[in-house]
Amino acid sequence: MSAGDRDDGPRTLKTVTMASRVIDAVRERGGVGVSELATQLEVSKSTAYIHLKTLEENGLLVQRDDRYELAFEFSVLGESARNRSPLYRYGKPKVDELADETGQYTHIVTEENGRGINLYQVKGETGVDGDYQSAKLQQRDHLHYTASGKAILASLPRDRVAEIVDRHGLPAQTANTITDRETLFDELETIRDRGYAYNDEEEIEGFCAIGVPVRNPDDDVLGSLSVSAPAQFMRDEQARERLSERVMRSANVIEVNINMSS
């Protein structure tokens, strides 16, 4: 391995970093051509072509006409990773059950590299359709503006939360999004005392959500279970309390099942 293949940091390969950038560019744009990629990554067309062709030959990209798109191999890899998660395996039945009982969108989310990953979601019978919800399975969320994300943050050590905030910031998603560090830490303290997180139109205007952490037998947070619903539904305090109790009970059942499997 030549010195040129390494970053100045802890032995990271520049070629792998570039491959990751190429894959991200293809994902974000839904497909790219050689010239388009070269412009975006500020590399020569020949360099862009080599990376695209190498990823294609390794089954990670497919070429359709003059554009390269993500291969379905990523679906295989993602499904393999998801099926190894006890949160997914034991959370999936409760998500289905909660969606059926509440009629709303229900999710299980985990944290990876400081962002939220939606492992599974179900739209209940009365859930509001929308492209945003459909796209959630294809994106990484900031943790500070979702109920599921705040439930996770409240279960992490303060220094880990600070590290995530330093890395990803606190961008505003709506006018209600918490964008101040101390306000966020105060909110996380409230969540710990209350037992659940509440998203008050902080991610989507007109939508609120309740999120509850799910822990393993060592009390490490695996992720969270959440239900989102129109704000009008959540504004009814009694309805919100009933829903929060239901989500907490379901999260507890998931934890018990995980603990019994260990």
* CA distance linking residue 135 with residue 83, whole number of Å: 21
Report the pLDDT value the prediction gives residue 94, as an integer from 0 to 100: 95
Give kind and range of the element (H or E) at residue 107: strand 105-112
Residue 212 · residue 151 · CB < 8 Å: yes
* CA distance linking residue 59 with residue 195, whole number of Å: 45
* CA distance linking residue 143 with residue 197, whole number of Å: 11
Residue 87 · residue 119 · CB < 8 Å: yes
**pTM, entire model:** 0.83
Q: Do 81-261 and 3-74 fall under one CATH topology? A: no
* CA distance linking residue 7 with residue 252, whole number of Å: 45
pLDDT beneath 70: ranges in the chain:
1-12, 126, 128-138
- For domain 81-261, say whether CATH 2.40.50.100 is its number: no
* CA distance linking residue 147 with residue 160, whole number of Å: 18
Average pLDDT, the chain: 90
* CA distance linking residue 247 with residue 114, whole number of Å: 24
* CA distance linking residue 246 with residue 102, whole number of Å: 9
Contacts of 60 (CB under 8 A, 6+ apart): 23, 70, 71, 73, 74
| CATH class belonging to 3-74 | mainly alpha
**Amino acid type, 227:** V
Report the pLDDT value the prediction gives residue 236, as an integer from 0 to 100: 85
| Residues 34-65: tens digit of each pLDDT | 999 999 999 999 999 999 999 999 999 999 99
Give residue limits of the domains in the chain: 3-74, 81-261
- Dihedral of the CA atoms 246, 250, 253, 254 (nearest 10)? -160
Q: Which of 174, 228, 178, 177 is nearest to 205 (CA)?
A: 174
Report the pLDDT value the prediction gives residue 2, as an integer from 0 to 100: 41
Q: Which residues are 108's β-sheet partners?
A: 120, 225
Contacts of 192 (CB under 8 A, 6+ apart): 154, 155
